[in-house]
Amino acid sequence: MTNSTRTRRSLVALAWMLGVLVAPAAAEDKAAQPAPGLVVSVSEPATDAGLATLRRGGSAVDAAVATAFALAVTWPSAGNLGGGGFMMILPGPGQKPVCVEYRETAPGAATPRTLADYPRLDGHLVCGTPGTVAGLALAHGRYGTLPWRDVVMPAARLAREGFVVDRALAGSLNRVLRKSPKFAELQRVFAPPPGKKKWQPGDRLVQPDLARTLATIATAGPAAFYQGPIAEQIVAEMRAGGGLVSKADLAGYQARLREPIHGTYRGYDVFGPPPPSSGGICLVEMLNILETFRLGADEAGAGGPGAIQAGSPRRWSARDAHLVIEAMRRAFCDRARYLGDPDFVRIPAHLTDKQYARKLAAQIHLERATPSETLAPDVPMAPEPPATTHFSVVDGNGMAVANTYTLENSYGCRVVVRGAGFLLNNEMTDFNRIPGRTDRKGLIGTPPNQIAPGKRMLSSQTPTLVLRDGRLVLVTGSPGGRTIINTVLCTLVNLVDYRMSPREALDAPRLHHAWLPDKVHFEALKDPGYAATVARLRQMGHAFDPRSGKQGDAHTIAINPTTGRPVGLADWRITGKR
Ligand code: DON
C-alpha cells in the first residue's frame, strides 16, 4: 500500500467512525433530522409509506410490512403480493436475529418433469404458490405493534389514488409492455395514461383492482388471500391459463420462522437466510475462505501488473480479485451440488465450517484460475434474468429488518390475476428444470433442487444483518439472482477489509462469479482505471463476461459505530430512496 493510499484510507475510516462522512450530501442532510428510524428502498413512495409507519409509532417490522405492500403497488416488477422472499429480523438490541421465510412452493400437481418440455419463463405454468402475504403476516404477528390494517392500508391508498411514476419505473413499464404483447391483463392494468403511447416520468399510475385486493387483505386479513375471495380469483386465473396452483395449495401454504445462518468474519457476526435460500450458506462459506487470506496485502505493488492504479478507487487489485473470484467459484459449486429445500434434502453441515473453508482455501492456486469444470464438470448453471428488490429498515428501538422479495423475473410470469390487479411469480423456474439433464448451455439437473409437490425452490436471496460485539452495524441485501450473494460479499469485504466508508463500499465496482458459466462479471471491466487488473486476471486464466454491466441494487443501512446513528444508503444503480 502506498503512503498516500494508506493515509486516504485512514482518513475515510476515521471520518466514518466520527460520523462525519456524508455523501451524497443532500440525502445525508435529511437523515440529520430527528427520525424514529430509517427505511431505504428502491421506490420513493414505498419508502415514504415505511417512514410514515415509523412516525405513527410502528416498529421496524411494521414499517417493513408497510413498505413491502407499498412496493407491490409502486415497484411492480419485483414488489409483490404474488411472489415470495426472505425477511431477516433483529428483534432488538442483544437479541438473536430470526428469519421469516416466505418462499413460494411447487404446486401439489407439479412433478419433477413439469417444466421439462416448457422452456418459457412466462405463463401460468411457471407460477409457484405465493408466499408474500403469509410471510408479511407472520412477521407482523410476531413483531408488529400497529394493527394489521394500518400497515396494509397505505398501499391500498397508493393503488387507489395513484402515485407519480419516476424515470426508472416509466422505463420499466414501457419495456414490459413492449415485451409482453400477449398478456392482455398486464397490458390493461399497466397501460399508459389515456392518449399516451408510453409512460413518462411524472405520469400517474392508478391501480383500482389492486386497491380493492389490498383493502380486502387489510380488512379481512391474510386468509382472504389464501382461502377467501382472492384465492378464488387466483385459482380461476390458473384454470383459465393452464396453471397448477390450486385451492388446496393456497389453503395449505405456510410461511416459516427459521433460524438464520450465522458466520463470523474477522470479528463481525454475519447473519443470512438459511435454505431454501443459498444466500446465507454461500456467503458464510466465501467469507470463511477469504478469512484465511489477508486482503489488501499486495497494494505495495502499485504500478506493477494488475495493481491498483493511482487515481482509481483503492481496489480491486488482481490478487484480491483473484482470491474473491476463487472463493465465489467454490461456494457456488457447492450450491449446485448440495443446496435445496431442507424439508426435502439433507444439507451437509460442514459447508459453513471454518475447517472446511481452510481446506478449500488451500486448493486455491495463487497465480492461476481454477477452471470451474475441474471442480465438478457435470453441473453447469444458467444465467439469471433480473428483478427482485431489497429494502432495509431500522427503528428507534434497535429493531432492524433486511427484506428481499421477488417475483423472480421482472414482472414474474407476466400474468396479472384477472380483476385482482397483481402479478404472479415465475419462481418455478428457480428449480432445476430437467431431472438429470445438465448441459453446457446452462441447464442443471442435480437432485437437490428438482421439483416436487410442495417443495420450495432454491433461492439466492441474501438479506443480511451484520453485528459487532452484539451491536448492529449493517443491514443489507440486493436483487440480482445469483449475483445477490456476491454483491453482499463485496459490500462486506469493502467495509471490513478495505475499511471503506459505507457509501464507498456500496459504490465500488462489484465482482461476480457463479462457478458456471466460468466467467467473471466485473462492473469496472471497461474502466481504464482497472485495465491492468483485468489484464493480469486474464493472464491468470480468468475469462470475463463482455456484457458485464451493473450488479445489484443494495439499499443498505449502516450504523455508525461511534455515534450509534443509522445512515441510509440508497444504491445509485437503479434508483432509490431513504
Ligand atoms: O430467489 C432467487 O434467487 C431468484 N428468484 C431471484 C431473482 C432475482 O434476483 C432477479 N433479480 N434481480
Q: Round to whole Å and give the CA distance between 515 and 337.
A: 11
Phi, psi of 520 (to 5 degrees): -90, 130
> How many beta carbons lie within 10 A of that of residue 41, not counting itself?
33
What pLDDT is stored for residue 313 in this prediction? 45
What pLDDT is stored for residue 433 in this prediction? 85
Sign of the dihedral through C-alpha 492, 467, 341, 333: positive
Q: Which residues line ligand 1 (CB under 6 A)?
A: 384, 386-388, 406, 408, 427, 430, 459-461, 479-481, 484
Residue 388 bears catalytic tag: yes
What pLDDT is stored for residue 434 in this prediction? 86
DSSP string of 302-334, one letter each residue:
TTSTTPPPTTS-S---HHHHHHHHHHHHHHHHH
Q: Contact at 8 Å (CB) between 88 and 97?
A: yes
What pLDDT is stored for residue 441 in this prediction? 55
What pLDDT is stored for residue 422 in this prediction? 98
What pLDDT is stored for residue 166 in this prediction? 94
Residues in the chain, pLDDT under 50? 1-33, 300-313, 380-385, 578
Q: Round to whole Å and give the CA distance between 22 and 16.
A: 8
Q: Round to whole Å and give the CA distance between 92 and 398.
A: 5
**Helix (H) or strand (E) run with residue 372 in it:** helix 372-375
Residue type, 327: A
What pLDDT is stored for residue 534 in this prediction? 96
Q: Whats the size of the chain, residue-wise?
A: 578
Tell which residue, 269, 264, 260, has the closest CA to residue 467: 269
Catalytic residue among 67, 352, 388, 476: 388
Dihedral class, residue 260 (left if φ above 0, else alpha if ψ from -120 to 50, else beta): beta
C-alpha cell at 110: 407439479
SS3 call for 472: strand
What pLDDT is stored for residue 574 in this prediction? 77
Q: Round to whole Å and give the CA distance between 397 and 255.
A: 26
The domain 260-386+461-560 having CATH identifier 1.10.246.130: the answer here is yes
What pLDDT is stored for residue 479 in this prediction? 94
Tell which residue, 490, 545, 502, 507, has the closest CA to residue 321: 490
DSSP state of 416: B
